[in-house]
Each structure stands twice: as C-alpha cells, then as structure tokens.
Structure 1
Amino acid sequence: MKTPIALQTAVLALVLVVPATAMAGEAKMSLMNPDKFTDIKPGNGTDKSFRKGLERAFTEELSKSAKALPAGQTLEVTFTDIDLAGEVDPVDMPGGYQLRLLKDVYFPRLQFDYRVLDASGAVVSEQKGVELKDMSYLTGPRSATTSTSFYYETKMLREWFKKTLLGDPK
C-alpha cells in the first residue's frame, strides 16, 4: 500500500515541529533562611551581591535544565542549606579580600526540596530533603573556559536534574 506523498510530508513536518515545541518547562528557585546556610560566604565583595550572584547562577542553571520538561511544567526548587565548594580563608588579604580555598575536605553540598507542577498546578513529582554532595569534586575534568563562580554546585544540579527528572543514568 502506497502512502500519498502529501500525508508523508505532513507526518514528517509534525515529527520535526512537535519535539521543538513540546519541551518548554520553566523553573523557579528560592532560598529558605539563607542566613542559616552552612556556607554562602563571599571570598570578596559583599554578602548581598554575592548572594544575588549565587541566586542568578542557580536560577539560570535550573531554567536551562527545565527547558527539557514538557511544555507547561514548572520546576520549583527551595534550597534549605548550601555549603559551597571550598572554604573562605579567615586570614584577611591586603585590601580586605579573602580567598576561597578549594581542598578535598571542603566539598560542595546542597540540600533542597523540589516539586514539578503541570500547567494546572497539580504536582507531578516532588521530594523533600534532597541532598547532593560531591566529595571528589576536584578530581573530575573542568573546562578551562568555565567562568562561573559556582561551577561545582551548578554541575551537581545539572547532573541531579538529568538523573532524577529525565531518567538519564549518566
């Protein structure tokens, strides 16, 4: 049985168009009691500007990942604790700067609650008390062109998203 060319063309067009529009979720991120977090101290700069940078980096990472969710779905993440990679050296440097030292013993940890909502606001997936940590964060490859201040933390979020919400075992 031959399929009319017009039908084949329509099916092909649908196959090519639907995947591009079917995935378009969004993300929302918040910090719960950030003043009580284990470590979100700046190495330099003010606490307020550093926190804004952290929120921006995490929101951008979650928003990029959430684009892989079905259209209309929203990922909401509420961080309950953050312990950034490294530790701020307590010794003041000239000019009032402090350095964030990266050592194996100061590995990054994130704790958060999340939920995924569909377009009507119904919960599709949720979990409280998620804890991510990367005890070998300094041993893996890191691109020399990576410029984010929160590389290790956003990498953990990206990997968690792929594994947990997309089912990708990598």
Structure 2
Amino acid sequence: MNIKYLLLASVFVAPVAMAEDAVEPNPITEAGVVKIEWQSPKDFRDIKTSTERQSRFETRLFDTLTKNINKQAEKSLKPGQTLHMQVTNLDLAGDMRPTFGATPGDLRIVKDLYPPRATFSYTVNEGDKVILAGDEKITDMSFMYNSHRLNDRPFQYETTLFNDWLKKSVEPKL
C-alpha cells in the first residue's frame, strides 16, 4: 500500500521539481535605465554555482548584475537615455574546483589567473533613436589588485568589470 502512495506522490512532485530547475533560454532583466538579454546562458563559459540550484543562481546573478549596472548607468547616461545589452558570454571571476567529498558541492577558487570576462553588444538609446552602439569583449586582468574592490558584495568583480566599462568606454562618448 505504501508503494502506491510513493509512486503517486512521485508523479506529482517530479514535474514540479523539473519545472523549478528549468531556465528560460534567453532571460531578460530590467532595472531603471538598463535592459539586458542574457543570450543562451547554458553556453556561457562559467556561471556555475556550488551551493544552490543552477536556475536560482542564474536568476540571482542576472538580477544582481542588472541592478548594479543600472546604478552606474544612471550616473553615466544623460537623462532620457537607456542602455540595452545582449550578453552572449560571461565568465565569473574564479574557477570551479571539485572538492572530492570534502564538501557537498564544488568550490569556486578566486585567483588572479581566472579574471571575470564578458562578451556583449549594446546600444544607448535616446527615445527611439540609437545614439551609440557597439560590440564588446571585456576582461579585468587586475581585478584582485585594486584596493577599492575589497568588499564582500555579491558578484563584486563582475559588477566592477561592467562599471569600469561604462565609465571608460561609454561615458566619454556621450
């Protein structure tokens, strides 16, 4: 009798568990003046998590980065301008290493050997008019050596990578 209930429960629980881990093929995040399309995140170089479901991690990563990029974009862009990005590749700072049973999951080792990287295209719009556009491939090779980056914010190295790009590449052209 218990086996029937167990089988019946698995019929209802399995689809929910699979649906919860399903990830949109191209999620879109928006915050303030920034809209980002994350194109095929399953193909990104390294956005692996060690402690949570991959789908939840990706949602948290994309939302956090979008909000942090928006903070800098609101300073860099002029009133009425918006930033649209299509991210085609992302490599988080560090590298995932197996722990071989020492912990339940893998461990992200952050060393200067594994810098954050991103590949994307972007447009800066003013209303319906595109005033700036381009394709970028950015890397921060000195991400561990800048003293202003010593804090414990989530995705601090990736946020700084995008913020530096906005300050050095976009802001001067506007």
**TM-score category, normalised to shorter length:** 0.7 to 0.9
**Does 2:65 match 1:58?**
yes
Q: Which runs of 5+ in 2 are unaligned?
A: 1-31
| Cα distance in structure 2, aligned partners of 1:104 and 1:147 | 17
**Does 2:135 match 1:136?**
no
How far residue 143 of structure 1 moved from its aligned partner, in angstroms, is 5.2
Letter in 2 for 1:85: A
Name the residue aligned to 2:94.
Answer: 86
Name the residue aligned to 1:22.
Answer: none
CA contact (8 A) 2:98 2:105 kept: no
| 1:147-168 alpha-carbon deviations (Å, 9 max, x no partner) | 3221111001111101112129
TM-score (norm 2): 0.74
| Cα distance in structure 2, aligned partners of 1:92 and 1:52 | 27
| Cα distance in structure 2, aligned partners of 1:79 and 1:127 | 12
| 1:86-127 alpha-carbon deviations (Å, 9 max, x no partner) | 0111224555222100122211111111101112x1101000
Aligned to 1:67, the other structure's residue is in SS state helix
Within 5 Å, which residues of 2 pair with 1:14-33?
Answer: 26-33=33-40
| Cα distance in structure 1, aligned partners of 2:112 and 2:164 | 20
| 1:117-149 alpha-carbon deviations (Å, 9 max, x no partner) | 112x11010002x011112222221455x3322
Aligned residues: 141
Name the residue aligned to 1:97.
Answer: 105
TM-score (norm 1): 0.76
Aligned to 1:62, the other structure's residue is in SS state helix
| Cα distance in structure 1, aligned partners of 2:163 and 2:129 | 24
Name the residue aligned to 2:18.
Answer: none
Assess, with a 3 A threshold, how the Cα gap between structure 1 residues 65 and 142 changes in structure 2: closer, same or farther: closer
| 1:59-107 alpha-carbon deviations (Å, 9 max, x no partner) | 1122112213222211001111001100111224555222100122211
| Cα distance in structure 1, aligned partners of 2:62 and 2:100 | 26
Within 5 Å, which residues of 2 pair with 1:65-80?
Answer: 65-68=72-75, 69-80=77-88
Q: Which runs of 5+ in 1 are unaligned?
A: 1-24
Which ranges of 4 or more aligned residues in structure 1 deviate by more than 4 Å?
Answer: 92-95
Name the residue aligned to 1:5.
Answer: none
| Cα distance in structure 2, aligned partners of 1:84 and 1:77 | 18
How far residue 47 of structure 1 moved from its aligned partner, in angstroms, is 0.6
Structure with max Cα Rg: 1
Name the residue aligned to 1:106.
Answer: 114
Over aligned residues, Cα RMSD in angstroms? Answer: 1.8
Assess, with a 3 A threshold, how the Cα gap between structure 1 residues 33 and 143 changes in structure 2: closer, same or farther: closer
